[in-house]
Amino acid sequence: MDFFKRILASSALPSPLEATIQSVEPLPPSHPYYPLDANIFGYEPNERSTLELVSQFGSGCVLILSITYFVTKRVRPHIPVSDLLTTMWFVLCGCMHLFFEGYVVYNFQRVAGMQGLFGEMWKEYALSDSRYLSRDPFVLCVETVTVVFFGPLSFITAGMVATGHPLRYPFQAIVSLGHLYSDTLYYLTSAYGHYYLNESYSRPEPRYFWGYFVGLNAFWIIVPAVLLYKSVFTCGRVFTAMAKIERTLNASRAVEPAPRGPKSR
Amino acid sequence: MDFFKRILASSALPSPLEATIQSVEPLPPSHPYYPLDANIFGYEPNERSTLELVSQFGSGCVLILSITYFVTKRVRPHIPVSDLLTTMWFVLCGCMHLFFEGYVVYNFQRVAGMQGLFGEMWKEYALSDSRYLSRDPFVLCVETVTVVFFGPLSFITAGMVATGHPLRYPFQAIVSLGHLYSDTLYYLTSAYGHYYLNESYSRPEPRYFWGYFVGLNAFWIIVPAVLLYKSVFTCGRVFTAMAKIERTLNASRAVEPAPRGPKSR
């Protein structure tokens, strides 16, 4: 009887296959990102505090804006305030795109484990969007286009605005539309993940979703929308004025006597 | 002894868990799309042949272009050839975005099983990019932006080009940059899938990859690049001319005698 009990007991033990399956069942997440099962390779926790990272990011922005202010005022002392602010905006964008976003594109495969200042800043930001650490194809591609095209174009546009170049408005429109478009897609793809795939890339605390994800990126919706509007309508005004000048010149030519020719209309 | 043999034999039978696992092992693909394990729900094979679908697509484009040609020539008989071609292009884009791409966005969840003309055209095109049938977040989002913004904007721009509206060049630049940007992202995300995720979304036959995927979409790189270039440099020329006119007017004002005032510089 004991013999049968032992056989029955042994058949209750997990088979090797069942044991393997049990061993790959979800473990508690080894990172603070959402979704909790996001594939984030080689994650190392930050050594700097949130306050330290946010204040260093803010200080960096203030430094870039201040240097641009002083350099622009020196190059063109009577620059209109709106052009000065636009120049400062595009220099800030150029620095963000080329250096800060360039860093995450260059290190896309390994940023989750990086402890430099930019690495820790990205790990802090990724609390609101884990796609930066989980090698998301869309985020990599849109960031690559931003770094390669809109980084240099932002600096070129800043130079054009500061010097009043004739191509300033078309270039301002191009970079601003690029910002608007990429940011719209960035929000939309995240919303798709949230509503259709039931996968939120942001931690649930409001400071991450509303502060970092919505708040920080909203600058790249609001400012480009204003700059694009100004570009389009300044172009429109200039084309209207030019058409008026042409009509006036044609009319004044028409009233001049044309010797022996047919009457001009 | 027979009793022990029966017990041993019964232990060799797959456990319910093992049986379940065996039953979900990869089956031969039930669709012709790549990657072979792509999740394509409710796929129904096309009833129309490739030749029929391609020729109907071509005929549709020719019809749209012909109608636009005749309407534009009637509205503005002396329209320059380049403006006529640009109008035809934007009307074609508007129709494609609003109706053809609108169809796939509206039916994104069920297009794999649809047998209407547009449904079968999309299933034919998806042989070169299965993301249209596998509910890819990026493709849905980029197509939504195209339908909602660039569909109406294409028609507005066509109208502006046909009538020589002052905002024609800024709008031409906006829509063309939108085309360039979305197509670049479309190619890039597919390349990322191919090179980094080892996941090709196109069937391997050259007619799908080079014909449909690269060839058809290349129109939305080449034409917008030309139109954007023309927009930017036309704007630049007009701004240069306007600055010259302003300088001439200021100079002519400066040489007029200013009674009792300080000498103008």
- B170-194 residue pLDDT tens: 999 999 999 999 999 999 999 988 8
pLDDT exceeds cutoff 50 at A13? no
pLDDT exceeds cutoff 60 at B231? yes
Write down the residue that tokens 């990026």 correspond to: B138
Which tokens sit at B45? 């094979």
Identify which of B196, B195, B42, B216 has the alpha carbon closest to the alpha carbon of residue B128.
B216
Buried b / exposed e along A31-41 (16+ C-beta atoms within 10 A):
bebbbeebebe
Give the CA distances from residue B195 to residues A136, A146, B137, B172, in Å, rounded to whole numbers and listed in that order.
14, 20, 19, 34
Chain A residues touching residue B137 (CB < 8 angstroms): 138, 189, 192-193, 196-197
pTM of the complete model: 0.83
Residues in chain A: 265
**Residue B81 neighbours by CB under 8 Å, 6+ apart:** none
CB-CB contact of B32 with B127 (8 Å): yes
Pick the residue of A21, A136, A174, A195 with the most B CBs within 10 A to test the interface with B by mutation: A174
Number of CB atoms found within 10 A of residue B91's CB: 24
Alpha helices in chain B (DSSP H): 2-12, 16-23, 50-75, 81-95, 102-106, 117-125, 137-145, 151-163, 168-195, 206, 217-255
CB-CB contact of B97 with B147 (8 Å): yes
pLDDT exceeds cutoff 80 at A78? yes
Chain B residues touching residue A14 (CB < 8 angstroms): none
CB contact under 8 A, A188 and B235: no
Q: What is the mean pLDDT of chain B?
A: 87
Looking at residue A28, its pLDDT comes to 56
Looking at residue A3, its pLDDT comes to 43
CB-CB contact of A72 with A88 (8 Å): yes
Write down the residue that tokens 């964008």 correspond to: A93
Percentage of chain B with pLDDT > 90? 70
Alpha helices in A76-150 (DSSP H): 81-95, 102-106, 117-125, 137-145
CB-CB contact of B159 with A119 (8 Å): no
Reported ipTM: 0.82
Looking at residue A259, its pLDDT comes to 53
Please tell me the distance from the alpha carbon of residue B153 to that of residue B148, in angstroms, as a whole number: 9
Chain B residues touching residue A15 (CB < 8 angstroms): 15, 18
Please tell me the distance from the alpha carbon of residue A252 to that of residue A171, in angstroms, as a whole number: 35
Residue A16: closest CA among chain B residues belongs to which residue?
A: B18
Residue A3: closest CA among chain B residues belongs to which residue?
A: B4
Question: Could you report the per-residue pLDDT of A103-162, keeping only the tens digit for each?
Answer: 999 999 899 999 999 999 999 999 999 999 998 999 999 999 999 999 999 999 999 999
Please tell me the distance from the alpha carbon of residue A159 to that of residue A156, in angstroms, as a whole number: 5
Average pLDDT of span A163-187: 95
Give the CA distances from residue B242 to residues A240, A246, A248, B124, B235, in Å, rounded to whole numbers and listed in that order.
11, 12, 15, 51, 11
